[in-house]
Each structure stands twice: as C-alpha cells, then as structure tokens.
C-alpha cells in the first residue's frame, strides 16, 4: 500500500460508481476524453461559454456531456454539480493556468494526481529546490546581473513561454535591463531541447520500479516557439532586434522527437530522481509529468522546467508513440490516465492516485 493523498470525505462522491473523467475543454482535453472513452469511462467537458463547436467534428473524443459557465471565475461554482456527477478532474496546463493554481488546489472535487505538486511547480524557487535537491542538473542561476559570466536567458515569473523572456549574450548586454516584475537570470544552455512525457504509477508493481510504483516514458516532443525558432534564418538575435522585433518563446505547436537510445538511461534516471524526491517532499507526484531540458554536446541533460501534469505535446501521440507502443500498442497519456483510475478503483486504492 502506498501513500494516501485523498481523505475519505473527498472521495465520498465516487462511492460505488465509475468515475466520470472531467476536464476543461482546451489544451489536451480531446485526448483525455478519447482515452477515457476507450476505457469505457463516462466523460464531462467543462466549458467557459458555449461548448466549442468543433468538438462535434471529433465523435471519438467529444465528451458525453458538457457543463458550461459564463466566466472562468465561475468554474469554482460547479463543484456541487461535479460531485453529483462523480467527477474526477484531470488538470492540464490551461485548466490550472486559467483558474490559477491556488483556486484549482482549493476545489473540493477529487483531482487526478497530487494537487500539492501545483504549489511546487508554480513557484520557480521551490521548483529549483525540488529538482536540485533531487540531484538533477539545472542551468546556473545568477542572483544579479553583475554576476553574469556568459550568455543568459531572463525569465519573468508566471510568463510561461512568455513574451517577457529575452536573451543576453553577456553582462554588458544586461546593462540597460530594467525589470518590470519578479524575474530570474539563468545560464543560456546551448544544445538540443527535449520535452519528455513521463507517467508515474504508484500502483504498478512491474516495469521500471521507482518508490512503491513504476515510471513509464510515453512520448517526447519539442516545442515550436515563435519567433525565436526562426531566428537562424535571420542569422542572429541582433538582426531581429535591428528589425525592431523582440525575440519571444511563445509556443505555437509541437514536433515529435526521439532520443538516441543510449541516452534513455539518463532520461529515466532524471525522471526517477524527481519522483523519489517528490515522495520525500510532499507525498509524491502521481500520473503524467513532463521533464523539459537541453541535451548539451557533452551529452549532459540540463533541466530548465518541469510540468507536473499532462502537457499539450502528448497530443502528438493519441494513437501511440515510439515509446508508449513498447508499453502497450496505441497507448496515449489520456488513455493511461483512464487505465490508472480504473485500476485504482478496482483495487480500492483511489486515495493513492487522487487528491
């Protein structure tokens, strides 16, 4: 028996019935509903405003029913209806971002995974403490511009992949920097980016064992980021700036990637360390998460960010990935979530995967 994350009262609404897989209609929700449907679980889509019409075009992913509210802030008001429906909320990037991690954490509805993790993800200092104390290599962090001794990336808090980010080649290039909010200055790591989609099951007793459960790798992508990814066409960042354009990292899409097979050991080592430390710090991170980092030419993997829930890059692999196909043919992260829910319920272990 693993760690109980949810109290019996939190789980009372699921007593004696199949859980209804519920999430906000956005981000990776089509994949989540599609996976739930494949596992014969009922589905419920939350929408702000009328349900998106284009969901009608995807009959295998359209949720069984919708619950709509006029404004995001009113999502909290759906709690009684969600409990009534036996809902389990699946957090994804837009759901947590729109509602805010604090409001999301307070919802009195069962949530898939450990909701305590959201507080560690949303605070860049806590996130660094977690990853560094796990023994994961991260880009250097500079306390002030005067310490900078090479190329850096300046990131504002909360501006995920946001417009506020910028690169500076050296300390001199930061001379005119006037921050407009809380920020961090990080070593700019040269190498190739990889976004690794993991799934941690505290229930599984086979496979790559970590803690009481096991770690799976279900896919990998790289993000297309406007306008920086096209920078090479202009030759250098200065060219963009000369043209009066600030380089940004706004995500516009995703492309599938794979790692050299010999590097998979490193990938699993990083994933396992992050899970083991999460168990010590806050009872463990359960379900999907994404480790985002850069493989350098010395083949060192430096992690700049972790997403502690399903990421949109998994949408590439609704019918399986080169990794998930080696776990079970055609397995998506959305379907894996539904499988974990079903297993937890049939074994009377919902408290270990819900919070």
Strand order, beta sheet including 20-24: 65-69, 43-48, 20-24, 87-89
Out of 104, 112, 289, 304, the only residue in the binding site for ligand AMP (CB under 6 A) is 304
Q: What is the DSSP letter of 51?
A: P
Which position has the token pair 């405003």?
49
User: Binding string, 27-66, against ligand AMP, x = CB under 6 A?
Assistant: ----------------------------------------
Contact 96, 311 (CB under 8 A): no
Write the DSSP string, 191-217: SEEEEEEEEEESS--SSEEETTEEEEE
Q: How far is the CB of 8 from ligand AMP (least distance, A)?
A: 37
Cβ atoms within 10 Å of 98's Cβ, excluding its own: 16
Q: What is the DSSP letter of 298?
A: T
Q: Is residue 164 close enough to count as binding ligand AMP by CB under 6 A?
A: no
Region binding ligand AMP by CB under 6 A among candidate stretches 71-79, 95-103, 158-166, 345-353? 158-166
Q: Is residue 160 close enough to count as binding ligand AMP by CB under 6 A?
A: yes
Q: Is residue 189 close enough to count as binding ligand AMP by CB under 6 A?
A: yes
Tell me the two tokens of residue 302: 């430096």
Helix (H) or strand (E) holding 11: helix 8-11
Size of site (CB under 6 A) for ligand AMP: 18
Out of 139, 211, 271, 313, the only residue in the binding site for ligand AMP (CB under 6 A) is 139
Contact 203, 213 (CB under 8 A): yes
User: Binding string, 311-350, against ligand AMP, x = CB under 6 A?
Assistant: ----------------------------------------
Instruction: Give 292 or 340: the residue with its C-beta nearer to ligand AMP.
Output: 292
Binding-site ranges for ligand AMP (CB under 6 A):
139, 153, 155, 160-161, 165, 186-189, 193, 223, 225, 249, 292, 294, 304-305
């Amino acid at each position: 028996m693993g760690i109980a994350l949810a109290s019996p009262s939190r789980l009372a609404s699921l007593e004696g019935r199949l859980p209804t897989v519920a999430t906000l209609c956005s981000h990776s929700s089509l994949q989540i509903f599609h996976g739930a449907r494949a596992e014969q679980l009922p589905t419920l889509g939350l929408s702000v405003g009328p349900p998106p019409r284009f969901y009608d075009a995807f009959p295998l992913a359209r949720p069984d029913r919708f619950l709509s509210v006029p404004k995001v802030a009113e999502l909290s008001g759906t709690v009684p209806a969600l409990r009534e429906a036996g809902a389990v909320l699946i957090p994804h990037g837009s759901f947590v971002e729109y509602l805010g991690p604090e409001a999301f954490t307070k919802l009195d509805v069962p949530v898939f995974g450990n909701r305590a993790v959201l507080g560690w993800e949303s605070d860049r200092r806590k996130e660094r403490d977690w990853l560094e104390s796990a023994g994961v290599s991260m880009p250097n962090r500079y306390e002030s511009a005067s310490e900078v001794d090479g190329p850096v990336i300046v990131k504002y808090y909360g501006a995920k992949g946001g417009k506020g980010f910028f690169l500076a080649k050296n300390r001199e290039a930061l001379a005119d920097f006037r921050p407009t909010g809380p920020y961090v200055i990080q070593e700019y790591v040269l190498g190739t980016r990889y976004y690794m989609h993991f799934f941690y099951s505290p229930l599984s007793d086979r496979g790559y064992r970590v803690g009481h459960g096991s770690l799976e790798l279900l896919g990998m992508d790289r993000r297309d980021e406007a306008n920086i990814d096209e920078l090479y066409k202009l030759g250098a960042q200065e060219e963009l700036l000369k043209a009066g354009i600030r380089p940004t990292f706004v995500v516009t899409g995703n492309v599938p990637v794979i790692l050299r097979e010999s590097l998979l050991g490193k990938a699993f080592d990083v994933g396992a360390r992050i899970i083991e430390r999460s168990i010590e710090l806050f009872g463990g991170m359960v379900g999907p998460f994404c480790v985002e980092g850069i493989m350098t030419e010395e083949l060192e993997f430096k992690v700049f960010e972790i997403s502690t829930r399903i990421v949109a890059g998994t949408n590439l692999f609704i019918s399986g990935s080169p990794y998930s196909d080696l776990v079970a043919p055609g397995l998506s992260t959305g379907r894996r979530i539904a499988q974990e829910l079903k297993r937890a319920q049939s074994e009377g272990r919902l408290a270990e995967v819900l919070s």
